Amino acid sequence: APLRLASQKRARRCPAASAREMAVQAERSRRLRSSALAWGVVGVAMLCVAMHCSEVAFLGGAKDEGMSPESIAMAKTALQEADAVCFDVDSTVVETEGIDLLAACFGVYEEVANLTSNAMNGNIKFQDALAARLDIMQPTVEGVAKCLEKEKPKFTPGMKQVMARLQERGVELYLVSGGFTLMIEPIAEILKIPKENIYANKLLFAGDGSYNGFDRDAPTSKSGGKPAVVAMLKKSKGYNTVVMFGDGATDMDARPPATAFIGYGGVQVRDKVKAGSDWFVTSWKQVLKVLK
């Protein structure tokens, strides 16, 4: 009590000194808070490095990712030594999903897009998702023609350069897609890929132009189709090293027999695909660096 009284007396005798003490104390508190915040930021950064965070703005953006440094190295070597490279088309070669584009043209985008997402994440058999989407859409010859006239291919940034670089190296290129040949052929023509190197699905129409199903014998019309295509190419062409690129679970299934699977997340990052990739990239610039 005597000490508190003395302190109060000093404060009354020297209010300026008391104010200075309060200001000093406030400044100390501010510095302590700033220091704690700074160490918190550093801690988050260190945690992100440990967990291989792909995008941390203050650490410089996206980085190469994969299951392990060994798998990344293997995938890069396979790409450099590849006899053939197979590419998924939708959300990989081009920015869009072809079947979703058709659905938008026929006014049923939402219903079809939800099924597309489930199929690409591996939550439903591909053949079931394909049949369901086309049944909802009921495409016609006339409607598809108008849609193709309206919607032109939008290539993912750097894709044309990657294709050209691989062709310069004498690598055979294939488009292996769960999409439709009539939408992929214009893309192949721009990329100078022969039509016979397209493995995709064929829409069937009745004599009056109405929808009449799809070719269920095409390997890419069902789950397991892409690995079947790669296996067939290796057997018939004698390829030793084949690399598969894609954004979806059906693409990831192509390894094996593909030597390596490189996941592409430049349009859509799917956690399951990212985790299962030998190497996961979000920009074609990462691939071009390997193909110098």
**Do the beta carbons of residue 87 and residue 176 sit within 8 Å?**
yes
Longest CA span, the chain: 106
Angle between helices 98-105 and 141-150 (to 10 degrees): 110
For the beta carbon of residue 124, count every other beta carbon within 10 angstroms: 16
Q: Which residue of the set 64, 83, 90, 271 is catalytic?
A: 90
The reply to whether 135 belongs to the active site is no
Q: Position 195: which residue type? A: K
- E-strand stretches of 118-241: 172-180, 198-201, 203-205, 211-214
Task: Please give the angle made by the CA atoms of 74, 79 and 84, to the nearest 5 degrees.
Answer: 130
Q: Which residue of the set 88, 247, 251, 253 is catalytic?
A: 88
For the beta carbon of residue 30, count every other beta carbon within 10 angstroms: 10
Tell me the C-alpha to C-alpha distance, in Å, between residue 13 and each of 17, 25, 79.
9, 20, 82
Q: Position 35: which residue type? A: S
Tell me the HSE value of 59 on the side-chain side, using a 13 A CA sphere: 17
Distance between alpha carbon 283 and the CA centroid of its chain, in Å? 9
The reply to whether 217 belongs to the active site is no
Q: Give the dihedral sign, CA 214/220/223/224.
A: positive
Q: Residue 129: which residues within 8 A CB-CB, separation 6 or more?
A: 115, 116, 118, 119
**Do the beta carbons of residue 99 and residue 179 sit within 8 Å?**
yes
Active site amino acids? 88, 90
